[in-house]
Amino acid sequence: MEVEKLGIPTAPIVTIAFEQLAKTNAASRGMPGERICFTPHPMTNKTDAQMYQVLLGKDPVTGKPFMPEVIDAITKPLTAAETRTGEVRPSTGPATYSDTPDRLQRFYADNNMTDFQPIILPTEEKVEWMLKGTSHKPDEIVGKMSAAHGAFPEWSYTVRQVAINAVMAGAQPEFLPAILALASTGQTAIFSSTSSFARIALVNGPYRDKVKMNYGIGALGPFNDANATIGRAWTILSKNLGAAGMPGQTYMGTTGTNFNYNNMCCAETEDKLPAGWQPFHVQHGFKPEDSTVSIFTGWSLTNVCYFGVPYHELINSWLTHYFSTNNGSVTLVLDPTVAADVKEHGFDSQEAFREYLIKNSKTPAWLYWQHRDKELAQAKQGVEPFASYLKMGPDADIPVSRFVPRRWPGAPPNSPLPTTIEIVVMGGETNTYWLGGDFRHTITTSIDKWV
Amino acid sequence: MKINRRKLLSLMGISPAVLAGVPTFADPAKKPAARGSDGEGKIEVLNPKGLPPAIQLVPMAPRVANLDGKTVYLVSDGFAGADRFLHQIAIWFQKNMPSVHTIYRLKAGGLAGDDPKLWSEIKANGAAMIMAYGH
């Protein structure tokens, strides 16, 4: 579209799986008639010869011969509608709806305004009650949210609109500051991707106890009002305030993830941290007396309990062989008993443990040599250390960690390096279990400012 | 599956009238669906939706009358296979419209990223662009 704006006619080509997304996105960006041409899906795994056959075939959406349609897209004169200018202000419907409670429950679900579990219907009375949970004015703008920043338009929303969604999720007014804090980040709980993203919402500070969050037995399970509804509210508001979570349009996760129901909302077991270890929010620049919520993004978690070796060694070996969607950062959730064991083996801080893991974890050879064509060529020419790595064979573990911090592509050269191994302590000490997964920390933000 | 564009735009909170280029304020959901029990009294509830941004309609670029002797940029957004697919398009042009000169480029910034440097190059040297993205 940017190229069209420069006066260059464009023929975008999209696979048919993204038809709704492409058309909706074009319309929401002001070019509803964009001449999109469609191919079958998927294309990635086709041979060159098969791809050429697609060119000789038909657009599966329009039924027109494909390449002539592409040529038409850049040569056929524009219609009057395609040259229109002006502003369109989309409607999201009336301010209120009136019907019986049963019908309204059905209506909200049918219009994808819920997580398809029953909601508390947001009456004026309920919303006014919810707004007692914050000192902020109802009309204050809280933030802007998109299903994927840069790819979809950003919607904005007020304190009152967040409160409406908080009511729907079944939250109590005292949970509203945490929900507002999540909303204020602009980060959606339901990110638009084919890869079925999940989130974690981790609460730290005195607020955990003020609203009686669970950070003991079953902290990640369905056993606590605050954990359940704060996390649920984030999902519901992401749909209604950020236009996220519309399958085929702003959500493309091929399998989806159950984590999206409440985003693993939980709190850290700060009172059981080993001596010298810091609460998560303190590691990220806040004071212990601050209350915050931290967001992590990723896909999956592994649940581990094994008694053969000390836990720091076990976690190190797991890191070497763990493989998932995100291959360069990880979050560890340690039961306090596991954290205590790690501490007893000499790791006086999370930072010390992190450095040990980065120094000692390795990369399986099959994984190491992927995307290292240059190093492989050097290895074959005898260049060290690659030559020695190659001699170790295809089943070896190469002594290079995948978790050495690197800047994200496009990041300023002097920007801080990301933390690639996050460590959270949480659990009820009933056994020495720990979780590890492909999550990375994205932001920690204040809850206090929304009280 | 046949896509109902009116329905999908309504779900986005966008007036289907946008397709016709008529900037009106549509009302995509005036009444709740008539499903469920009718045995209770009516209540009034609040719309939970946020505030979508206004849409500035963008006129499309004037089309070129024909491509004879023109340069067409073939641009990949970096998804796997897009480069090979665009190479096949270049071969198609060689076979079917040999007077068309094609140039392949990989856009910087991934799917949603902007690449003003490339756009300037295309503006200076190209008559049209074909972009391939998806999976």
The nearest alpha carbon in chain B to A13 belongs to B132
| Number of domains, chain A | 3
Q: Same structural domain for residues A24 and A120?
A: no
| C-beta of residue B51 within 8 angstroms of C-beta of residue A153 | no
Domain membership of residue B63 (yes or no) is no
B127 and B76 within one domain: yes
- Interface touch A249/B123, C-beta < 8 Å: no
CB-CB: which of B45, B63, B80 is closest to A96?
B45
Q: Which domain holds residue B9?
A: 1-31
Distance from CA of A117 to the nearest CA of B (A): 15
Q: How far is it, in rounded angstroms, from Cα A95 to Cα B41?
A: 20
Buried b (16+ CB within 10 A) or exposed e, B26-64: bebbeebeeebeeeeeebebbbbbbbbeebebbbbbebe
DSSP character at residue A135: S
ipTM (interface pTM): 0.88
| Residues A383 and A292 grouped into a single domain | no
Q: Do A143 and A269 belong to one domain?
A: yes
Whether residues B119 and A93 touch (CB distance < 8 A) is answered with no
All residues at 6 or more sequence positions from A263 whose CB lies less than 8 Å from its CB, including other chains: A189, A198, A199, A200, A201, A231, A234, A235
Choose the mutation target among B47, B77, B93 for the interface with A, i.e. most A CBs under 10 Å: B47
- Contact assignment for B122 to A6 by CB distance below 8 Å: yes
With an 8 Å Cβ cutoff, are A103 and B37 in contact?
yes
Shortest Cα distance, chain B CAs vs residue A72, angstroms: 9
User: What are A22's two structure tokens?
Assistant: 């492409």
Question: Is some CB atom of chain A closer than 8 A to the CB atom of B42?
Answer: yes
- Any domain includes A311: no
CA distance B95 to chain A (A): 12
- Same-domain status, A75 and A155: no
CB–CB of B53 and A97 under 8 A? Answer: no
Amino acid at A431: N
C-beta atoms of A248 and B8 within 8 A = yes
* Verdict on whether the full-model pTM lies above 0.80: yes
Is residue A225 in some structural domain? yes
Amino acid at A31: M
Mind listing the pLDDT tens digit of every residue in chain A (451 residues)?
788 989 999 999 999 988 888 888 888 889 989 999 999 998 888 999 999 999 999 999 999 999 999 999 999 999 999 999 999 888 899 999 999 999 999 999 999 999 999 999 999 999 999 999 999 999 999 999 998 887 788 999 999 999 999 999 999 999 999 999 999 999 999 998 888 999 999 999 999 999 999 999 999 999 999 999 999 999 999 999 999 999 888 898 999 999 999 999 999 999 999 999 999 999 999 999 999 999 999 999 999 888 789 999 999 999 999 988 777 899 999 999 999 999 999 999 999 999 999 999 999 999 999 889 999 999 999 999 999 999 999 999 999 999 999 887 667 788 888 899 999 999 999 999 999 999 999 999 999 999 9
Give CA–CA dist A1/B60, Å, rounded.
8
Amino acid at A344: E
